[in-house]
Structure 1
Amino acid sequence: MANQTVTYVLWFFLGWLGVHHFYLKRDRHAFVWWATLGGLFGLGWIRDIWRIPDYVQECNEDEEFYKKKKERGQVINGNAETRSRPNQNQISGDGIVTRSTTESRTRNRTVADAQKNVPEGDAVHLEEKKQKTVPHVPTTENRTQKRTVAGAQKNGPERDAVHLEEKKQKTVPHVPNCSTVRFSGQLVMGSIFSYLFRLSIPEEYAQLDGIKWVVFFLPPIGAAVGLLFIGTNLVCKYVGRHKCSWTWPLIGSFSALPWLFYSNDSIASSPLLAVLFTNWWGKKGRSEPPPRKGLCKRLTVLSCCGIIYLLLLTSTIYFNATVTVKDGETVPLREAIQNFFKSPVWSDTKEQFHRLYNYYQANGWHKIWEEIMSALDPAGEANAYKVLELDHSATQEEITKRYRELSRKWHPDRHKDLEAKAEAQKKFIEIQEAYDILSQIRAKRTKRNKQSTRNERTEF
């Protein structure tokens, strides 16, 4: 059972990753939220504020929730609750075919009006006449229904009666309307995957004879894939689960091939046509909830989809992004990365890691942690020695002497030029802070050493 409070907590802290949708077993919804950082950069995350109660009730299959939806004329989870259709024969519980037509309603009104103007003795006759079954004009469909009912009642086994009852209650799944939110989500996801499929292949490879035609068909396939993430699980107005096959999204996306053949910049036409074709012809209602899957299977499927998405996104960024250098020149990102691995910074980094690894082999994890913390210099001691131009072996007298010398040298009053005065003031403040840091560290160490010595004497 899903809890609404837990859902809101997950929504608040991890909603941009879609964790609350995963908790409610809405895996595709969760993937879309994760892939678009909260449903198109937070818009879906905000919309979930008032949608979460419905999501929780749907996950728990709440009877009151379904009752409200049935009152609105929707079919949910295969329950037979539809608005009556005029001019259509229905089968009663006794197997008698009755009619719910305009003609029947007119006849009833006529009998009621006649009852007002007849004597009391004739009223009984009219009441009996009114209860008689209206003669039924059989059709091919009605004959088939009568034979089905009569055959099932003639056979008599209990299982046939149950099957007959289920068949009578069976209704056509509700085909939900497509809201603006769903249409926009389908278009966005279709566009994202369409561009990712195309841009993940570098341009120089896309022009090769053996790959050119394969690359040409990638945007329509990506549009269909992105659309189906929205078209099969996300809910639109009320509950109305949607489902659609691959047929119409693929037909719609491949209908844009003439535009793609004319111009490579027409990639957006594939998702647009795919969405239109799907909502016009390929959309169906789901009369039953999707089958429940185990946690391991759900995590495996989501992880695979996430890895594929990250690979496409990484490839797209790597082959298409650029870096701007100091002089305003743009350099392709892949060239910048290759040059970084050849730079002195990367060489020094590798050397430091190699040194840490050797130090770990000689001294263990405890010493290497102290070495890392010393290199990070969280207390600012190493930087303070550097500012005062001293080494770590300097005494407190040497630190104080050096501090006074540098303070006199960089005192702002000794400089008349405004720029030099500002620079001197900045340097003077750094010298003062460095001296304070070293003095405090030395004082703490001295106090700690005295306390340790006193404790040793007491124990002795």
Structure 2
Amino acid sequence: MNNGHVKQQVGTSKQVNLNGDAAMVVEKKKLKSLFLTYVLWLFGGIFGAHHIYLERDFNAIIWLTTFGGYFGIGWLRDIYRIPTYVNDANDEPIFIEKFKTNIRQFKKPPFSTVRFLGQVAVSAFWGQLALWAVPEEEVHGFNLRYLLYLVPVFVALGVWIVGNIGREQGGIKWTLLASFCMYPTLYYIGDESTWLSLMAVVATLVFETFSKEWRLKPRKKKSIIKRFTVISFAVLLFCSMWASFFYFNASITDSQGEEIKLSEAVKHFFTSPVWLDFMASISQTWQQMKHQGFWATWSQLVDLTDPRGEINAYRVLGLTQTSSQSEVTAKWRSLSKEYHPDKVKGTDEEKKIAQEKFMEIQSAYELLSSTKNRRTKKNRRA
């Protein structure tokens, strides 16, 4: 009897310990702070920082590769979605109960316009980037155009990743098959943008019909190293595709309407007079800084930016900065008579130009006069 009682006590003790461990797990999840999530959203949300904090890595990858959820749209939408994300991360009872109600009510996740549009937009963008990244010309004698077959892969990945966010999931098999089945339609459609959009819509519809289901089991806990590796790989792949596009395919148009490869234009830019003059100015400023000191050089640079507008005012009046106040007044009177709207004869356009010039002359004179008076008073006080 005593042994049985002891065993029962031990069993109760284990149960208490288990409950205690469960409480500790819940307590750890409650460390996902709503306030901190909003702080991360504000200062790093465009790069998915708040999603990384909440362990929503798929969201973070999308934010990182689409510039904040398709050029900031998703980032702005998160303003009112963050409380739901935090409740999901913390397994809040209210959120879990609502999730169970949805499961009982719907056999599979209902259609969501926002998720559908997100799948189409992200997959089409990823497919377009893959299309841009493939070199159009041979690289060291190798034709890499066969890499275009990766375009449907990136379209399917975009659909699949968006479809596996949150408490929903689905496989990629049927989505990938649908994307490849749409590949030959390029030859009939012709326009690449229309073709990619159509491929993204079809792949999303297939995912919604055959793959989408509820995520009944929580995601497996991943180590920080594994999460960092996956996100880093996605970012490196994304950056390499942009680099390939800019180096091999991107071009700019000159004043004569001719297209020039961006990589060649950048190479020639570093030998252009603009760049050489700029580097000469930087070198001269550095030498001056070494002889006169940082603050003296900084003061001269500030003066060269014309913060008060004096240099421009002298230019408007056609004078140098060494001109006296009497010369400024004489020049102002002369120009005011020349450009006075009442004395200008001609078309309405000529009168309008003369009036604008007259106003510019008045502003320049007022600025120089007020500056002269202010400096005179300052010298008297000194």
Q: How far is the alpha carbon of 1:415 from its aligned partner?
A: 2.0
Q: How far is the alpha carbon of 1:433 from its aligned partner?
A: 1.6
Q: Deviations over 1:362-400 (max 9, x none)?
A: 333323322332222222122122222222223333333
Which stretches in structure 2 are left out of the alignment for 5+ residues? Answer: 1-30
Whichever residue aligns with residue 196 of structure 1, its letter is L
How far apart in 2 are the matches of 1:297 and 1:438? 65
How far apart in 1 are the matches of 2:221 and 2:291? 57
Q: How far is the alpha carbon of 1:339 from its aligned partner?
A: 5.8
Q: Deviations over 1:138-193 (max 9, x none)?
A: xxxxxxxxxxxxxxxxxxxxxxxxxxxxxxxxxxxx96456343333223222211
Q: Find the counterpart in structure 2 of residue 21 from structure 1.
A: 51
Q: Which moved more, 1:255-264 or 1:22-31?
A: 255-264
Q: Find the counterpart in structure 2 of residue 309 from structure 1.
A: 238
Q: Which moved more, 1:175-184 or 1:22-31?
A: 175-184
CA distance change for structure 1 residues 330 and 16 in 2, over 3 Å: closer, same or farther?
A: farther
Equivalent residues of 2:103, 2:214 under 8 A apart: no
How far apart in 1 are the matches of 2:50 and 2:299? 40
Matched, 1:449 2:379: yes
How far apart in 2 are the matches of 1:366 and 1:325? 41
Whichever residue aligns with residue 448 of structure 1, its letter is K
Q: Secondary structure at the match of 2:332?
A: helix
How far apart in 2 are the matches of 1:55 and 1:251? 32
CA distance change for structure 1 residues 223 and 424 in 2, over 3 Å: closer, same or farther?
A: same
CA distance change for structure 1 residues 357 and 319 in 2, over 3 Å: closer, same or farther?
A: same
Q: Deviations over 1:386-445 (max 9, x none)?
A: 222222223333333333333333333332113443333222222222222222223333
CA distance change for structure 1 residues 179 and 426 in 2, over 3 Å: closer, same or farther?
A: closer
Q: Find the counterpart in structure 2 of residue 66 from structure 1.
A: 96
Using structure 2 for the length normalisation, give the TM-score.
Answer: 0.72
Matches within 5 A, 1:280-299: 280-283=209-212, 285-286=214-215, 287-291=217-221, 293-294=223-224
Q: Find the counterpart in structure 1 of residue 179 from structure 2.
A: 253
How far apart in 1 are the matches of 2:227 and 2:378? 56
Matches within 5 A, 1:428-439: 428-439=358-369
Q: Secondary structure at the match of 2:299?
A: helix
Q: Find the counterpart in structure 2 of residue 39 from structure 1.
A: 69
CA distance change for structure 1 residues 426 and 252 in 2, over 3 Å: closer, same or farther?
A: same
CA distance change for structure 1 residues 378 and 192 in 2, over 3 Å: closer, same or farther?
A: same
Q: Find the counterpart in structure 2 of residue 193 from structure 1.
A: 126
Q: Find the counterpart in structure 2 of residue 242 from structure 1.
A: 169
Q: Find the counterpart in structure 2 of residue 182 from structure 1.
A: 115
Matched, 1:217 2:149: yes
Equivalent residues of 1:252, 1:276 under 8 A apart: no
Q: Secondary structure at the match of 2:137?
A: helix
Counterpart of 2:308 (choices 364, 379, 383) is 379
Q: How far is the alpha carbon of 1:343 from its aligned partner?
A: 4.4
Counterpart of 2:162 (choices 230, 236, 240) is 230
How far apart in 2 are the matches of 1:303 and 1:412? 66
Matches within 5 A, 1:305-384: 305-313=234-242, 315-316=244-245, 323=252, 329=257, 331-332=259-260, 334=262, 337=266, 340-341=269-270, 343-384=272-313
Q: Deviations over 1:119-145 (max 9, x none)?
A: xxxxxxxxxxxxxxxxxxxxxxxxxxx
How far apart in 2 are the matches of 1:290 and 1:438? 72
Which stretches in structure 1 are left out of the alignment for 5+ residues? Answer: 75-81, 84-173, 454-460
Equivalent residues of 1:176, 1:242 under 8 A apart: no
Q: How far is the alpha carbon of 1:58 from its aligned partner?
A: 0.8
The structure having more radius of gyration, on CA atoms, is: 1
How far apart in 2 are the matches of 1:223 and 1:302? 18
Using structure 1 for the length normalisation, give the TM-score.
Answer: 0.62
CA distance change for structure 1 residues 331 and 385 in 2, over 3 Å: closer, same or farther?
A: same
The number of residue pairs the alignment matches comes to 346
How far apart in 2 are the matches of 1:447 and 1:299? 64
Q: How far is the alpha carbon of 1:38 from its aligned partner?
A: 4.7
